[in-house]
Structure 1
Amino acid sequence: MLRDDLRTLWTEPRPPAAPARVWRDWALLAMGLGGVMVEATLRENVVWRPAAVVLAVWLCVLPLWRRTRPLTTVVLAFGSVILLQVATLIAAPREPVGLRTSVVVLVLVYALPRWGSGREIVLGGAVILAAFAACAVTDESPAAEQTVGFVFLFLPGLAGAAVRFRATARGRLLEQVRSREREQLARELHDTVAHHVSAIVIRAQAGRVLAGTDPSAAVEALEGIEEEGARTLEEMRAMVAALRDRGAGAELAPPAGVADLERLLRTPGGRLRIDVGLDGETDSLPSAVDAAVYRIAQESVTNAMRHAVNATEVIVRVTAERHRVRVSVRDNGQRTGRGHDGFGLAGLRERAALLGGRLQAGPGTDEGWHVEAELPLGRNGSGGHPRSRR
C-alpha cells in the first residue's frame, strides 16, 4: 500500500493552468529588495556583508519563477544556502552569515507542493532537508530551537499541499458538474428529437390517409412535415454544438420551459384537443425545474398522440405551490394495459429523481393514461391566480 502511494506521488503531474506572473509577485520582490537595503544599511553586525546581501537579493528574485519552475527555484535557492553553510563551516565566523530578509525563501517552500509535480516535490523536499541539515550542523542552537525551526521551515509546504488538495477537489467537482450537464443536454436532445419525429410520423400518416380524398390536405401535411423536420434539424444542430463546445465555456440558449407549453397546443392533424392550465407562480420556477416541467408535459402529450386509442383530449395541469410544483397530464383514450416504459418515460423518471422529485405513470382508474409528477422548488414561493389556455 505504501509503495503504491509513493508511486502515485512520484507520477503526479503538475496542476494545470499555473497563473502567470501577477502584481503580487512584483510587490513581493519590491518588499524583499527594500528589506534587504534597509537591513544591510542599518544592521551593524552583519557577517560577510557583501555575500549576505548578494544571497538575500538572489533569494528575493527567485520567487518570480516559483510557479513555472518550482523545482529549479528550490534547487537554486537552497543550493545557495548549502554552499554558504559549507563556506561557513570552513571559515568558522563568530556570527551566523546571512540577512533576516532571506526568510522570503519560505515562499518557495510553499510553491513546491502547490505547483510542482510529484517528482519535483520529492526531489525538492530532499534538497530542502539537505539545506536544513547543513544549517543544523553549523548552528549550535539547542535541539528544541532546531525542532521549532524545522516546523517553521516546512509549515508553508503543508499549507501549499492543503491548497493544492482543495483546488484539485474543486476541479474534480466541476468536472462532475460538467459531465452531468452534458448528460442533461444529451437527454434534452433525445426528448427534442423524439417529440419532433413523432409529430413527423403522425403528419405523414395523416397525409397518406387523406392523399386519395383530399389532395390539399395531403399537401398541407407535407408542408407540416417539412416545417417539423427543419425545426428538428435546427434544434439538433444547436444541441450538438453545445455538447461539442461546452468545455470551452460556450453559452447555451435557455431550454424550453413552462412559458413554452403553448407549443403543445399546435398538435399535428388536430386529432387531439390539448387543454393547458397553469396555477400559481409558474413564471418564476428554477431553470432546471422549469425545463423538467416542459419536458414532462411534452413527452406525455407525445405519448398520448402515439398510443392513446380513440382519445380526443389531453389535459395538462401545472400547479406551483410554496415548496413544490405538480404536473399532471391525462388523456381520455383507451388503454390495453400499462405497457412498456420507453427511453422517454425512463428519462423523465430519472430527470425527476435528479431534481429530488418523483414521477408516476400508468393507466387511469376509469380511462386513459395518467402521468403525475412532483418536483421540489428548493425555495419559498407563493401562490397566484390560475391561467388557462385552450
Structure 2
Amino acid sequence: MLRNAVRSLLAEPRAPEPPRRVWRDWVLVGGLLTAVVLEGVFREDVAWRPAAIVIAAAVVCALLWRRTRPLTVVAAVFGLLIVINLVTLVTGNATFGLYTMICVVVLPYSLARWGSGREFLIGLAFILVALVLGIASDFNGYAEAAFGSMFLLFPATVGLAVRYRWTARHRELDQVRLREREQLARELHDTVAHHVSAIVIRAQAGRAVAATRPEAAVDALAVIEAEGTRTLAEMRAMVGLLRDDGTAALVPQPGVGDLERLARSVGDRPRVEVEVSGDLGDVGPAVGAAIYRIAQESITNAVRHARHATRIDVRLTSYDDSVRLTVRDNGEATSRNSGGYGLVGMTERATLLGGTLAAGPDPDRGWSVDVVLPRTAGGR
C-alpha cells in the first residue's frame, strides 16, 4: 500500500484540499507554547536560554500553517534546524534547543498528507539534511541514530497511508456520482423523449385536421394534456429522488406490468402490440424497470424514425433464468444514432444488469431491438 501511496502522491498535480485550520491545531499550539515557557523557565541545562525559548515558540506557532502551507513550514523549520546543527557541529558546543521542539515530528506527516508530489520531494530533502546533520552533531551510536531516523520519518509514512486512503475513497465517491449522473441522464432521456415525441406527433396531427375536423384537434389536445401530465409526474418522482426527502421511496418504478399502458399511450398510428409469455412474477424490480425503459425508448425511436410504420411489436418472453424483450417495427429502416443517446442508454441499462442488447435493421423490413437480461439481476 505504501508503494501505491507514493505513486499516487507523485502522480497528483495538486494536493488534496486541506481545511484551513481546525480547533485541534489551536489546542496543540496552546499546549506546546505553555510547555515551552515552563521548560524554558525551570529547566537548568538550557544553552542560550532566551534564544532557545524564542526559537521553540516560533517553531510551535508555525504548526498553525502545517495544513495549508506544508512545504513552507517544513522548509522554514527544518532549514532553521539545519543552521542550528551546523553551528553546533562547527563550534562543538552543547546541544541547543528545548525538548519541546520534538513537536517537529508532525511536520513530515503534514507534508506527506497535504503537500503535492513536488512539495513532498523538496520538503523531504530538507528533512533528510537536518536529520543527517542532527545525528552528526550529537552522535551517540548507530542504534540511537537508527531509532531517531525511524522516529522522524515514520509520521511521513503514516501521512502517505492516510493520503492514499483519502484519495481512494474520494475516487470511489466520484465513480458513484458518475454512475448516478449517468442513471439520471438515462431516466431523463427515456422519460422526456418518449412523452415529448407523443406530444409533438399529436400536435402535428391536431394542426393538420384542425380546419376540417375540429373534434379531432380537441382529441389531440386531450392526449397532449395527458402526456404532459405523465411527464410532470415522472419528473417530480425523479426530483424527489434527487432531494432524498423520503418520498421518492414511495414512488414505484415502472415495470413489466406497465407495458400495456405504455402501448396505449402511443395511440393508433403506429399501433403497438404487446405480447407477454411465461411467468414473470419473480422478475427483479431493476430488471422490470430496465425492460420498461428499453421498450419505451425503442417505441419512441420507432415513432420518430421509422417512416411509414404502421405496427410496432413488443414481445416479452420469460425463460428459466432470463427474460428476453424484442421490439420490432415494419417501417423503413433509417439510422437511429444521429448524435442521440437512446441506443447508448439502452445498452448501458442492459450491461449494468449483466445482459446483452442488439439493435439494428431487420433483413426484411424495419428495425429491431433484442435484449436479454437475467431474471433477478440487481436484487428483488
> What is residue 294 of structure 2 aligned with on the other side?
296
1:194 equivalenced with 2:193 (yes/no): yes
Whether contact under 8 Å (2:10, 2:117) holds in the other structure is yes
Going from structure 1 to structure 2, the CA distance change for 1:327 and 1:27 (only over 3 Å counts) comes to: farther
Matches within 5 A, 1:1-390: 13-36=13-36, 39-40=39-40, 44-89=44-89, 91-94=91-94, 96-204=95-203, 206-207=205-206, 214-225=213-224, 228=227, 251=243, 257-258=253-254, 261=258, 264=262, 266-270=264-268, 272=271, 280=281, 285=285, 291-302=289-300, 311=311, 326=323, 328=325, 335=330, 344-345=342-343, 347-359=345-357, 371-375=370-374, 381=380
Q: CA deviation at 1:354?
A: 2.5
Taking only the aligned residue pairs, the percentage that are identical comes to 47
State the Cα deviation string for residues 218-266 of structure 1 (Å, max 9, x = none): 2321453476579779989999xx9xxxxxxx75896982279486265
How far apart in 2 are the matches of 1:91 and 1:238? 78
TM value normalised by structure 2? 0.69
Structure 2: which 5+ residue stretches go unaligned?
1-7
Superposition deviation, residue 98 in structure 1: 2.7
Offset at residue 81 of structure 1 (A): 1.9
Q: CA deviation at 1:352?
A: 1.0
Is the 1:300–1:371 Cα contact (8 Å) retained in structure 2? Answer: no
Structure-2 separation of matches of 1:292 and 1:311:
23
Q: Secondary structure at the match of 2:354?
A: coil
The alpha-carbon deviation at position 45 of structure 1 amounts to 4.2
From the superposition, tell whether residues 33 and 355 of structure 1 become closer, same or farther in structure 2 (CA, over 3 Å): farther
Paired residue secondary structure (1:200): helix
What do residues 100-131 of structure 1 show as CA deviations (whole Å, max 9, x unaligned)?
Answer: 33221011111113222344333322322232
SS in 2 for 1:75: helix
Change (3 A) 1:370 1:124: closer
The alpha-carbon distance between structure 1 residues 71 and 360, as it changes in their structure 2 partners (threshold 3 A), is closer
Question: In structure 2, how many angstroms separate the alpha carbons of the residues matched to 1:76 and 1:312?
Answer: 75
Shift of 1:379: 6.3
Structure 2 distance, partners of 1:312, 1:380, is 31
Change over 3 Å in CA distance of 1:105–1:217 after alignment to 2: same
* SS of equivalent residue, structure 2 residue 267: helix
SS of the aligned residue for 1:374 comes to: strand
217-226 vs 254-263, which deviates more?
254-263
More moved, 229-238 vs 32-41: 229-238
8 Å contact from structure 2 (residues 302, 312) kept in 1: no
Secondary structure of the residue that 1:57 maps to in structure 2? helix
Shift of residue 154 of structure 1?
Answer: 2.0
Task: Give, in whole Å, the separation in 1 of the partners of 2:198 and 2:173.
Answer: 37
Kindly tell me: are residues 212 and 82 of structure 1, through their superposed partners in 2, closer, same or farther at Cα, counting changes over 3 Å? Answer: closer
Alpha-carbon distance in structure 2 between the residues aligned to 1:147 and 1:337: 81
Q: Is residue 206–residue 269 contact of structure 1 (8 Å, CA) maintained in 2?
A: no
* Alpha carbons 2:205, 2:220 under 8 Å: kept: yes
Cα-to-partner distance string for 1:128-173 (whole Å, 9 max, x where unaligned): 2232232123113223432332232222223323333343344444
- For residue 82 of structure 1, report the CA deviation from its aligned partner: 2.6
Q: 1:235 to 1:130 in 2, by over 3 A?
A: same
* Deviation at residue 65 of structure 1 after TM alignment: 0.7
- Give the distance between the partners of 1:37 and 1:64, measured in 2 at CA: 18
Specify the SS of the correspondent of 2:20. Answer: coil
Residue of structure 2 in register with 1:246 after alignment: none
Size of the aligned set, in residue pairs, is 355
Counterpart residue number, 1:247: none
- Alpha-carbon separation, structure 2, partners of 1:270 and 1:15: 60
Q: Distance in 2 between matches of 1:199 and 1:358?
A: 28
TM-score, normalising length: structure 1: 0.68
Q: Deviations over 1:254-290 (max 9, x none)?
A: 69822794862651435647779895477x846xx67
Whole-angstrom CA distance in 2 between matches of 1:380 and 1:184:
17
C-alpha separation between the residues in 2 aligned to 1:93 and 1:212? 108
| CA–CA separation in structure 2 for the residues paired with 1:276 and 1:31 | 77
- 2:3 is matched with none
Q: Secondary structure at the match of 2:108?
A: helix
Instruction: Give the Å deviation of 1:353.
Output: 0.4
Q: Residues 17 and 114 of structure 2 are in contact (CA less than 8 Å); yes or no, is this contact kept in structure 1?
A: no
Q: Provide the secondary structure at the position in 2 that maps to 1:68.
A: coil
Question: What secondary structure, in the 3-state scheme, does the structure 1 residue paired with 2:373 have?
Answer: strand
Give the 3-state SS of the residue equivalent to 2:58 in structure 1.
Answer: helix
Deviation at 1:211, TM superposition (A): 5.4
CA spacing shift, 1:163–1:10, aligned 2, 3 Å: closer
